[in-house]
Amino acid sequence: MGSGPEPRPNRISFVNSSPSSTLSPKANRDLFDQSALSDLAQRLVEAARRAGADAADAVAVRGVSQGVEVRDGRVEESERSEGDDVGLRVLVGQRQAVVSTNDVSGDAVTKLAERAVAMARVAPDDKYVGLADPALLARDFPDLDLLDPDVPATAELERRALAAEAAALGVKGVTKSGGASASAGIGGMVLVTSTGFHGSYLRSSQGISATAISGEGTSMERDYDFTSAPHGADLLSPEAVGRSAGERTVARYNPRKVETCKVPVVFDPRVAGSLVGHLVGAINGASIARKTSFLKDKLGQQLFAKNIRIIDDPLRKRGLRSQTFDAEGVAVKKTALVDEGVLTTWLLDCATARELGLTTTGHAHRGVSSSPSPGPYNLHLEPGTPTPAELIADISQGFYVTDLIGSGVNGVTGDYSRGASGFWIENGEITYPVSEVTIAGHLFEIFKSMQPANNLEFRYGINAPTVRIEGLTLGGR
């Protein structure tokens, strides 16, 4: 398999595990209070300066999560996880080091800072490292409504999971459960820099998922559905999730093989976002700086039809990946990555921007043990005007993709090849299920022929409506 896009950076996220106990009101209050995290990050930066660092920044992360997994009407697993982690980045001249810990007792802060400075002094020079220009730092922190203070109790998570499983089993043709789960979490992050930036946010996360199985023995089929959102009120109901999982599974039963051919391919919204993901991987500043992207010379060029806009919006209210500043404290903004079909920007943090002679776009992400690297926020492909039915109405023979398998996309060359399953399109209608095929083409051609339908919904980190692509090669029997 060829080289793909740059790996996604570590993101501050939640562990969707599961708990044997619920969060008490006092525990919630303690979690919502980020003053201790702020004080810790500030002390780390001050300790680094005292130890000889020319500049430093610190991130402190806290998370509590709980969830329940059920199967066959019984709880299989119930867990809870929580923890605080801190990371310190120090710069001595043009040398950089990053250290992290979850132990800040006693004189651990001082020792951590001294160790980081000692590491930086023997690190290789890197002329691109450094903190963000103070002029670029965020000063406004709008309320994005990311925190649901109503943390569901364990009993409520059990109810959701059991209801989703029961709904899946209630679909005619479903023979057994693949399990269901429900989870909830709250996490916080604080960033402090030696240039005076001090920012923090809290984010909640809730989710429900279900998997159903149809058929028996070697002819079994499996499918799933899920819902996730910062606020419980924005989740699909457990019954809707389970019913959808069951219906998807039954629809896949007794799939056929098809002959190798070249046909229009239509991507279901659940997988259409992957096409946006391939674009974003290719415009990651790290890939551009290393010249390992097939789009390295395409900035400002027309890659898509004029009606295509692809948006990255970190400021969307209640967005799964929303936040008001990036991992270097830089202000973030809604950006059209593709506008009227034209590629308008790279995704940059400060280091990749310096290397390319540009200014950061506010896309830095980092975990406590990593230096910043570029990555997206809430991505979406804007909808078109045709309905999904109208999008496929003139297809005499085609393929409707509902699932993709493997990662056979080469970010250096743009070659695209992935295993897939879905349904055959005949005379403008979705007909019988199809499995064990490969769809192949080149991302330039895929981007050029992309036609979105009008059914965009915001359910994932990357959202797209139904999308039609012309002339992909379908590898069958």
> Which positions ≥6 away from 271 have C-beta within 8 Å?
401, 402, 403, 404
Do 238 and 294 share a domain, yes or no?
no
Into how many domains does the chain fold? Answer: 2
Do 83 and 163 share a domain, yes or no?
yes
Do 461 and 344 share a domain, yes or no?
yes
Name the domain boundary from 215, 250, 285: 250
Please state, in angstroms and rounded to a whole number, the distance separating the CA atoms of residues 175 and 291.
Answer: 51
Do 115 and 142 share a domain, yes or no?
yes
Do 276 and 177 share a domain, yes or no?
no
> One digit per residue, pLDDT tens: the chain, 477 residues?
333 333 333 222 222 222 333 445 555 556 677 888 899 999 999 999 999 999 999 999 988 899 999 999 999 999 999 888 999 999 999 999 999 988 877 788 999 999 999 999 999 999 999 999 999 999 999 999 999 988 899 999 999 999 999 999 999 999 999 999 999 999 888 999 999 999 999 999 999 999 999 988 878 999 999 999 999 999 999 999 999 999 999 999 999 999 999 999 999 999 999 999 999 999 999 999 999 999 999 999 999 999 999 999 999 999 999 999 999 999 999 999 999 999 999 999 999 999 999 999 999 999 899 999 999 999 999 999 999 999 999 999 999 999 999 878 999 999 999 999 999 999 999 999 999 899 999 999 999 999 999 999 999 999 999 999 998 999 987
Name the domain boundary from 250, 269, 286: 250
Do 109 and 142 share a domain, yes or no?
yes
Q: What is the pTM of this model?
A: 0.90
In a domain, 100, yes or no: yes
Do 279 and 415 share a domain, yes or no?
yes
- H-state helical runs in 20-171: 25-32, 35-50, 108-121, 154-169
Q: Exposed, middle or buried: residue 257 (CB in 10 Å: 0-12, 13-18, 19+)?
A: exposed
In a domain, 30, yes or no: no
Taking the CB of residue 365, how many other CB atoms lie within 10 A of it? 23
Do 149 and 69 share a domain, yes or no?
yes
Name the domain boundary from 185, 218, 250: 250
In a domain, 107, yes or no: yes
Do 458 and 399 share a domain, yes or no?
yes
